[in-house]
Structure 1
Amino acid sequence: MYTILVIVQVLVAVSLVGLILIQHGKGADAGAAFGSGASGTVFGSRGSANFLSRSTAWLATVFFVVSLALAYLVHGQRSASDSVVDRAAAAAPAPVVPAETNPAPASSALPAEEKKAPAVPE
């Protein structure tokens, strides 16, 4: 379904660009008034503007509908917690903390007299 929609999206986009490039702008009407041959077109003097405008509107509507459908399909495939930060945290290895290598605790090496707490003056 996704592949079909992408193919339709590309075809509609290319057709939409072609139709827009074929159309004449508003400035072309002034030249047509002086006999540039616009009345002898295939669709008549005003028929091409209506046909091309309507075709462009329909293709634009199809383009937006297919875009929304693709966005819905892509959004439905991801979970709510799927973000770039979550994926980076899951892929990063845990930091390695070196273990202490003391052979014996420091308190056992002291004489018995030093192990006592110092006297607190009153």
Structure 2
Amino acid sequence: MSLFIFLTVVQAIIAALLVVVILMQKSEGGGLGVGGSPAGFMSARGAADFMTRATTVLASLFVLLSIILAALAVGATSGREIDTSLERATPVQNAPAADPLAPAQGAPAPAQQQAPAQQAPADPLKGAAGQ
């Protein structure tokens, strides 16, 4: 487990360095890039090449460490079983809830009352007054 924690700390450091290197690169919009001069330690072209290489190396290390940490995590947890000691049992209902609108089981169903059908007038424009 100490190897897992050590690699996690190393990955966090690499992630922080990767963020710093990316922010230091000069982008088209100016960004947070550090301006280089030919009289300085490195020329602007040499600094850009160095930053590109540093970004590539740090990103590759980050991905490699992510894969290694995932493999270690799977290996460490594969032998465990799920703890069900805190599982709550739900009460089982034997009978379904009664429908308050349904008729009682012993009572006969009420007779359906049918209203007498009203006849519509033959011509709807004349209505009942035109007959």
Q: TM-score, normalised by structure 2?
A: 0.54
The amino acid across from 1:71 in the alignment is A
Three-state SS of the structure 1 residue aligned to 2:28 is coil
Three-state SS of the structure 2 residue aligned to 1:66 is helix
- Structure 2: gaps spanning 5 or more residues: 93-131
Partner of 1:44: 43
Q: Aligned residues: percent identity? A: 33
Three-state SS of the structure 2 residue aligned to 1:5 is helix
Quick one: which of 11, 14, 18 aligns to 2:13? 11
State the distance in 1 between where 2:13 and 2:44 align: 29
State the distance in 2 between where 1:15 and 1:62 align: 11
Question: Does 2:58 correspond to 1:59?
Answer: yes
Larger helix percent: 1
Instruction: Count residues with an aligned counterpart.
Output: 86
Three-state SS of the structure 2 residue aligned to 1:91 is coil
Three-state SS of the structure 2 residue aligned to 1:39 is coil
State the distance in 2 between where 1:45 and 1:93 align: 66
Question: Does 2:70 correspond to 1:68?
Answer: no
Q: What is the RMSD of the two structures over their aligned residues, measured on CA atoms? A: 2.8
Quick one: which of 16, 22, 25 aligns to 1:23? 25
Q: Residue 49 and residue 63 in structure 1: after superposition, are their counterparts in 2 closer, same or farther (change >3 A)?
A: same
Q: Residue 3 and residue 18 in structure 1: after superposition, are their counterparts in 2 closer, same or farther (change >3 A)?
A: same
Note the C-alpha offset of 1:43: 1.5
Q: Which runs of 4+ in 1 moved over 3 A?
A: 36-41, 93-97
Q: TM-score, normalised by structure 1?
A: 0.58
Partner of 2:87: 92
- Structure 1: gaps spanning 5 or more residues: 29-35, 98-122
The amino acid across from 2:86 in the alignment is A
Note the C-alpha offset of 1:39: 3.5
Q: Residue 36 of structure 2 contacts residue 47 of structure 2 at CA under 8 Å; is this kept in 1?
A: no
State the distance in 2 between where 1:64 and 1:17 align: 14
